[in-house]
Structure 1
């Protein structure tokens, strides 16, 4: 005994209620209003997004050596796994002086991770890292980094998090640094 083959029905439509069906309420029986056609002679208005003055042809003029790099929690963890010295590998990547910056939210996130990530916490407390104070409520690091980057376009964001990279790519003129293949 083999399987019975089901034949597909071609050009089958979903069944629809007629407008005279008694199950429909009175207000639903009204036919939908047709959209008004736009006048072709009228002037067309477009909404063009305003880019900040620091961007000239999508190139960020505020970026320059020494580079300020906002570091995310998972970037530190992945650099430990890949056995990379953070500051040295940043300088090798950009061929210039780099100042890794860490926000209070990222520090709080590393501290919350507990004893397992004590090496990451020790790296984050390195005196070469610049601490950036946060004024907002909550300690969600991704929102903090996105907010800081939208306000000031002078940062490079170092992260391995896919969602954060996707959010930052929507902001024009903000470069992303990430770790792949141990570099």
Structure 2
């Protein structure tokens, strides 16, 4: 198996583990057609499935599928020996044997769910079409002498997204705890809500006045202090240099 395909299959089975609770060894339910096709191709069924799911497996077969192999010609002796080496799955069809299609459907689809977390290995296209509508069913089949793991179906992806969104959701109490507030019960919430409505009825909200804002305080020129008042507008200009010179002359006369 190529490295890229093995990585894809490993990632897909990891998704089934996280979302639907699959665990190793995987329970692989095999039908009679899958056993016969792989036996004709001279492939080791257990090793081929292990390479496909990238993990340990527990191959299983139903009683109805074994009866289907017995009903064939004597050439199916090798296939019967391989089927007998697998673990027997009790399907409950003891009195009336059903076809492998009906038997596998009743074992896997339990109220629209893959209750027992089976990996299904089948060559029956009709069975694969039916099981695609059941979320969380990995499907394995042989295509051109290569055992293939089918990509996740639409029902599986929808179930995955639904579970992820439910896990990401946060309740109101959790939000209050994360924000540092005390969680409020329903009765307290109703009382506080009634008080708030009464207060809003008594005191109407003040509307904010819209208008031009003041200038930036950093760009405004500073006001002069009261200790140095500005000269009046009508007063003549003062010659500072001349006043200083007169003070010096008076001092010289005194000496």
Q: What TM-score do you get using the length of structure 1 for normalisation?
A: 0.63
SS at 1:125's partner residue?
helix
User: CA contact under 8 A between 2:28 and 2:119: conserved in structure 1?
Assistant: yes
Kindly report structure 1 stretches of 4+ aligned residues shifted beyond 4 Å. none
Question: Cα–Cα, structure 1 residues 60 and 106, in superposed 2: closer, same or farther, change >3 Å?
Answer: farther
SS at 1:179's partner residue?
strand
Distance 2:82 2:107 in 1: 22
Question: Which residue number corresponds to residue 42 of structure 2?
Answer: 83
SS at 1:144's partner residue?
helix
Distance 1:167 1:141 in 2: 13
Question: How far apart are 1:77 and its partner, in Å?
Answer: 0.8
Distance 2:107 2:21 in 1: 14
Distance 1:82 1:60 in 2: 35
Unpaired segments of 5 or more residues in structure 2?
Answer: 1-14, 147-255
Higher RCO, Cα 8 Å, sep 6+: 1
Q: Deviations over 1:9-42 (max 9, x none)?
A: xxxxxxxxxxxxxxxxxxxxxxxxxxxxxxxxxx
User: CA contact under 8 A between 1:67 and 1:98: conserved in structure 2?
Assistant: yes
Computing the radius of gyration over CA atoms, which structure comes out larger, 1 or 2? 2
Question: How far apart are 1:60 and its partner, in Å?
Answer: 4.5
Q: Deviations over 1:24-79 (max 9, x none)?
A: xxxxxxxxxxxxxxxxxxxxxxxxxxxxxxxx99x752322110000011100111
Question: Which residue number corresponds to residue 165 of structure 1?
Answer: 128
Distance 2:56 2:128 in 1: 23
Distance 1:60 1:68 in 2: 17
How many residue pairs match? The answer is 125
Q: Compare the two structures and name the one with the higher helix fraction.
A: 2
For residues 72-151 of structure 1, what are the structure 2 equivalents within 5 Å? 72-126=31-85, 129-136=86-93, 137-151=96-110
User: CA contact under 8 A between 1:62 and 1:153: conserved in structure 2?
Assistant: no
For residues 20-99 of structure 1, what are the structure 2 equivalents within 5 Å? 60-99=19-58
RMSD: 1.9
Question: Which residue number corresponds to residue 35 of structure 1?
Answer: none
